[in-house]
Amino acid sequence: MALAALASGSWTVVGQWWAYAAFGLIPPALGLPQGWPPLRLAPLGGTTWTWWAIETVGAFVMIVAVWLWTRAGRRPFLTPLWAVIVGVTLGNLVRIIGTSVIALHDLRTFGVAVLGTVLLSLLWGLVLGLVAATVHRLMAPVARG
């Protein structure tokens, strides 16, 4: 998850993504987080340090949630799948709550933003989780020795 967060924090990766997959720009156009929380060393482009801090906290929440969930589970495919889904959802909830505070959303806008974020996060978590779970399942025999 840390690698995914670092990759999504890189302008090289994000710029290529936006250039070839324009549908990825729809969530930010609606005011919702895109993908999973990115991890960057400094703000990207014209974003502020406050925005960077919110995204960094979201990325750390995601990474810690995935780490804790995978330590607790024992099923080689389902544990990493659910860990990533929960981690991405929690990390993006941190991001949308921070965004709503900065943007001074009213209660209705906040509720719609949270609902949209949860739905998109479940989708992104499922996609990323399937990749992580497949890799984990394939590597399990190697790890056992």
Per-residue pLDDT of the chain (145 residues; tens, 9 = 90+): 777 777 676 766 766 776 777 777 788 888 888 888 888 888 877 889 999 999 999 999 999 999 999 888 788 889 999 999 999 999 999 999 999 999 999 999 999 999 999 999 999 999 999 999 999 888 877 766 5
Residue 119 to residues 40, 90, 108, 124, Cα–Cα distance (Å): 25, 12, 17, 9
Backbone φ and ψ for 37, nearest 5 degrees, come out as -60, 130
Sketch the domain layout of the chain as residue ranges. Answer: 2-37+46-144
Assess contact for 34 and 28: CB atoms under 8 A. yes
